[in-house]
Structure 1
Amino acid sequence: MKTKDLTQIALMTALIIVLGMFPGIPVLLIPVPIVLQNFGIMLAGILLGGKKGTFSVLIFMLLVMMGLPFLSGFQGGMAVFIGPTAGYLFAWLFTPMLIALINNLISKYTHWKNNFGSLLIATIFTSIIFTYVLAILWLSWQSHISILNAFYANFLFIPGDILKAVIAVFLAQRLNKIIK
């Protein structure tokens, strides 16, 4: 890896950590708050691509596993990887790779070549559909609630996550112009 790549990975990891410093907004139905960190995960996939974005998120996860309180609410340690939010965390690791993969597939088979629409579809599919499937299954199993109840509880996050995806794609496209 080049120095530029390592710098980008480190800066994205730092951004994800900083976004965790904002307190989560509690949701009454489930023990999972609304957080800003998933915005950083989206940016990692859009700005850095699959390989570097995933590496950035992996570094973040390893730091959290080591006990550093980098998750929203100053949480960290191995316990968060078996708690109610673990499904989201597992999904986050694959999010940058899937955003890049889906964006590439859309670009390959349509006239949309890495534009706002293809990036937004890739980000929404990955950050909402893929993440919520894992999160709902994990939450249902871990919290001993039905899959349907876990689905309804996660439904509350969708409007905010769509807004985060739109802002992430818009911001990433502006930043890419500056970076290049």
Structure 2
Amino acid sequence: MHIKTHDITYIAITIAVIIILGYIPPIPIGLIPVPLVLQNMGIILASLLLGRKNGSFAVGLFVVLAFIGFPVLSGGHGGAAVFVGPTAGYIYAWLVTPFLLGTLLRGHHYLGWEIGATILIGVLFINLCGVLWLSFTTNLALPKAILAGLVFIPGDLLKSGVAIALHRRLRQLNMVPES
């Protein structure tokens, strides 16, 4: 696999942005052991900015850093234990989000298509994977887990909107790599 220097730079910057978003304190919601975080906006942004290949590479490297123990996840968490805890379903969804979203957006730069694909993958898919894992690991009945997970939807829609607006503005300024 041949990777260009500018691709490595964009990947590194994107990983840094995802890590920085993790330093914004998570907000516990009390209903379930999953807090509100901004880091998933970084995952969506990686998908939009870098496309399916480089976005997947960036998010994959970020997840590897978390797995080996770097405190890069929201709240300063990291380590293998996180990958079996109640929030792991979201992290597993993050791993495939750039590929899925990048595939849906490949060659499509229409705002409506971008919004629809981002809601489908960046909001609904991530949250569905998260609540399925949450239900499995906490023995919370699936309908209750889904109902509790609905609390994330408004914020995730807002984060997706910010990511789309930022992506479109950076593309307008020719500051986005060709994906």
TM-score > 0.5 by shorter chain: yes
1:95 paired with 2:119, answer no
Deviations 1:107-160 (A, max 9, x none): 6xxxxx412211111111001211122111110010111000100110000000
> 2: distance between equivalents of 1:166 and 1:117?
12
Q: 2:39 aligns with which of 26, 37, 40?
A: 37
Quote the residue 2:139 is aligned against: 144
Quote the residue 1:80 is aligned against: 82
Quote the residue 2:129 is aligned against: 134
Quote the residue 2:19 is aligned against: 17
Query: What letter matches 1:82 in structure 2?
Result: V
Query: What letter matches 1:139 in structure 2?
Result: L
The answer (yes or no) to whether the contact 1:99–1:119 under 8 Å persists in 2 is: no
Identity within the alignment, %: 46
The answer (yes or no) to whether the contact 1:54–1:97 under 8 Å persists in 2 is: yes
1:161 paired with 2:163, answer no
Deviations 1:12-71 (A, max 9, x none): 001000100000000111000000000000000001000000100001001001101111
Query: 2:71 aligns to what SS in structure 1?
Result: coil
| Deviant stretches of 4+, over 3 Å | none
Quote the residue 1:63 is aligned against: 65
The answer (yes or no) to whether the contact 1:88–1:132 under 8 Å persists in 2 is: yes
The answer (yes or no) to whether the contact 1:100–1:122 under 8 Å persists in 2 is: no
Q: 2:167 aligns with which of 141, 165, 172?
A: 172
Q: 1:53 aligns with which of 52, 55, 68?
A: 55
TM-score, length basis structure 1: 0.93
> 2: distance between equivalents of 1:140 and 1:123?
24
> 2: distance between equivalents of 1:42 and 1:172?
10
- The alpha-carbon deviation at position 177 of structure 1 amounts to 2.0
The answer (yes or no) to whether the contact 2:123–2:160 under 8 Å persists in 1 is: no
* Structure 2 unmatched runs, 5+: none
> 1: distance between equivalents of 2:53 and 2:42?
15
> 2: distance between equivalents of 1:132 and 1:163?
14
Larger deviation: 113-122 or 56-65?
113-122
> 2: distance between equivalents of 1:62 and 1:176?
28
- The alpha-carbon deviation at position 169 of structure 1 amounts to 0.5
Count of matched residue pairs: 173
Computed over aligned residues only, the root mean square deviation of the Cα atoms, in angstroms, reads: 1.0
